[in-house]
Amino acid sequence: MRASAFWITVLLPTLAHAFVLGGGLPDKDCRVAFGGVDATDGATGVVCTDGDPACDRDGAADGSCRFEVSLCTGVAVAGCTPESISSIAVAGLPLDLPPLPSLPGACGAPMQVIVPVGAAEGVTAIARTDGALKDVDYLNVCCRSAPALPFDAALCALGVDPGIAGCAGRVPAAIRTTFEHARILIQDAVGHPTRARADARREGRAVKKMRRVAQRLAEKDVCGDALGLIATQALDSVQAGIAQLP
């Protein structure tokens, strides 16, 4: 997937009409969420076809998708009780913070994110109260052209920089190398249909390795939890792509 670019414009504050919870633990995932978008690829991914009015806000097949995204707190979700949030660290897309300490149903100003066809952007949010971790969330937004292909979502999931996990230091080389290897494998699967299944399965093994490294990292840096969400989305996407192969 080629390098992407995004434009961001602050819009008039409005209540987000849809939410991506971001893939955290179910009993904590309502504490922080991404408003204005609906998940189409697992719990964290929004894969939009250029011109589809259900997700592309300009409704035009013009080579890019326009998303309007906000960061929200205290979303009403069954099985999850919102808690007050005092700080949120955002990495990746620079979303506006909601009022803090948090209020139920409050959102930061929506932002317009324009993603070119074939590109993806991501953002992570790590929420705390008085230093205690309360929620870790991830959002991946991607634009594709029609017709849809089996590994479109996997390309989206692997089209971001792992640095959006918000690590205190550099992302471990083992994670960057493994993620890049997985990206190359899924691109090979797209470019060589006759060996797509084998390449995709190898990509899945690479992402599982990345997730294991992320789990170890999480013991000392919460960004490991965010990297685990990035890896989980990629793994789920490639498995779904394999299921679509003839």
Reply yes or no: is the peptide bond before residue 116 cis, omega within 30 of 0. no
Residues 102 and 28 in one domain: yes
pLDDT in tens, 200-230: 999 999 999 999 999 999 999 999 999 999 9
The verdict on residue 12 lying in a domain is: yes
Domain span at residue 219 reads 167-246
Reply yes or no: is the peptide bond before residue 101 cis, omega within 30 of 0. yes
Burial of 182 (0-12, 13-18, 19+ CB in 10 A): buried
Residues 134 and 235 in one domain: no
The verdict on residue 154 lying in a domain is: no
The verdict on residue 158 lying in a domain is: no
Residues 144 and 244 in one domain: no
The verdict on residue 162 lying in a domain is: no
Residues 71 and 130 in one domain: yes
Residues 18 and 123 in one domain: yes
The verdict on residue 153 lying in a domain is: no
Give the model's confidence band at 17: pLDDT under 50 very low, under 70 low, under 90 confident, else very high: low
Residues 118 and 234 in one domain: no
Instruction: Give the domain-ending residue among 83, 116, 148.
Output: 148
Residues 56 and 16 in one domain: yes
Residue 181 has pLDDT above 80, yes or no: yes
- Are the C-beta atoms of residues 139 and 22 closer than 8 Å to each other? yes
pLDDT at 16: 40
